[in-house]
Amino acid sequence: MHMDWDAIYEHAGEATTKYLRNRTAAIYLEVSSKETYCGSAVCVDVNHRVFLLTAAHNFEGIKDSSRIIVFSANRSSDNPLNIIRYNYNLSGADGSNDVAWLEVDPKSAENSDLIGTDLNTIQLSPIPVDELCLFMGFPTGFARQQRDNSGHLNIIAPMMMYGTHLVRDDKSIVMGYAKTGFSPEQGIKEMPSPSGMSGGGIWLIPKKLEREDEIWDPSRLRLIGLTREYFRDRNEVEGNHVTDCLVLLSQDISELKESLGGFL
């Protein structure tokens, strides 16, 4: 029997893209009509509650008059998520504790095809050097604004996926950056800067199956961190461990401590 490996790899790629898209969200901060920022977030499920984990610096410069719109990678800003609780953690925005969280109304998440990844998919440090990783998000340069005759603004932010290798894993996750990413909508694209991808998920791609007779599927991806900062001089991107954000979440919501105990 002939195996069409090209078709198999294509379907595997489509399945992976859909899996990650369903667990990714965009953050749009409008300080003024001339000062706007994009950020990214990854979605997790804790006790059947839906949380977005992200970078605190995505909310730097926020004012009482600022507008924050959060929407699923499957939607645009015309379909915002209903945020019911949050900690922007602005005190940590300029340091290594650059993490924040937002809780999403479950019905709102369902209506936007946003799924919280199970805590069992999180892999703790240390991660071996040279492992293959993907980090996700919404580069500022690719976001589009559409304004209708009434002045209503709709923001469309194409999701980008960037494949790379782990350089090291100590206080931060450090990955190489070669400035080329993949957009499900636009294909391979040059990305001079990953600005806007801060807070997006970093996913480990396991090299081997546990058994030879197993079939690989996207649920084998392991969430390890959140993108934080790009270092242009050394072409590296650093991220926080996802556990940094789970620690903050457990400190803020005491009833989640038992569920998050294994990550504290």
Which alpha helices (DSSP H) does 47-174 contain, by range?
A: 106-111
Question: pLDDT for 17-56, tens place per residue?
Answer: 999 999 999 999 888 777 788 999 999 999 999 999 999 9
Q: How many CB atoms lie within 10 A of CB 255?
A: 10
Most confident of 1-15, 43-57, 167-181: 43-57
Q: How confident is the model at residue 160 (pLDDT cuts 50, 70, 90)?
A: very high
- Name the residue with tokens 């996207």: 218
Question: Phi/psi at 115 (nearest 5 deg)?
Answer: -120, 135
Pick the CATH number of 5-259 from 2.60.40.10, 2.40.10.120, 1.25.40.10, 3.30.70.3270: 2.40.10.120
